[in-house]
Amino acid sequence: MNTVKAFFATVGTIEQDLEKINADSIYDIEIKTLSNKPIDLSQFRGKYILLVNVASKCGFTPQYTQLQELHEKYKSQLQVIGVPCNQFGSQEPENAGTIDSFCKINYGVSFLITEKIDVKGKNQHPLYVWLTQRSKNRVKSSSVKWNFQKYLIDKQGHLIDYYFSTTNPLNPKITKHLK
């Protein structure tokens, strides 16, 4: 009997995981903060969201400065969210506490930083499944090429576009949507 209960418990878990991956809306996706608290993305409905996979030991790390500036300048209409990832050159090897301290001490970051996740591959987080698959975001497919790739979401939760690491966060390609 315990085997049957364990089986059905596992099936329930699998179904819940599939629901997360099959989310139709970015607002349905679950992700946590660096301090392991759930983030309700629906609280940002009515604002633009800029999601950026970040790393502390990357040539693009100084973009934290421009991300913070963007956050401060447009905070009434934009939520910047940094998403730590260690999949590109092992450039984010640190734990949550160290990442948090690094961002605050070196760049004065006050925007939201999530838990460290995978943005590609077999353990790709459901957020990045949604961001990178046209079947989910209904706009376009992409792949995350490197740290500091950016995804801009409109006020209704629709993908606008993505921007490679070389695109500065203050680039008019991004800011034109916020004016």
Whether the pLDDT of residue 52 is over 50: the answer is yes
Residue 12: predicted pLDDT: 52
58 is a catalytic site residue: yes
| Tokens read off for 33 | 């903060």
Long-range contacts of 125-134 (CB under 8 A, 24+ apart): 125/31, 126/20, 126/21, 126/23, 126/29, 126/30, 127/26, 127/29, 127/31, 127/51, 127/83, 128/53, 128/83, 129/21, 130/23, 130/26, 130/29, 131/26, 131/51, 131/159, 131/162
Whether the pLDDT of residue 77 is over 90: the answer is yes
Kindly name the residue from 58, 83, 99, 159 that is annotated as catalytic. 58
Query: What confidence category does residue 2 fall into, taking pLDDT thresholds of 50, 70 and 90?
Result: low
Where do the structural domains in the chain lie, given as residue ranges? 2-175
Residue 173: predicted pLDDT: 97
Q: Which CATH number fits domain 2-175: 3.40.30.10, 3.30.200.20, 3.40.50.1220, 3.40.190.10?
A: 3.40.30.10
Percent of the chain scoring above 90 in pLDDT: 86
Is pLDDT larger for residue 1 or for residue 117? 117
Whether the pLDDT of residue 20 is over 50: the answer is no
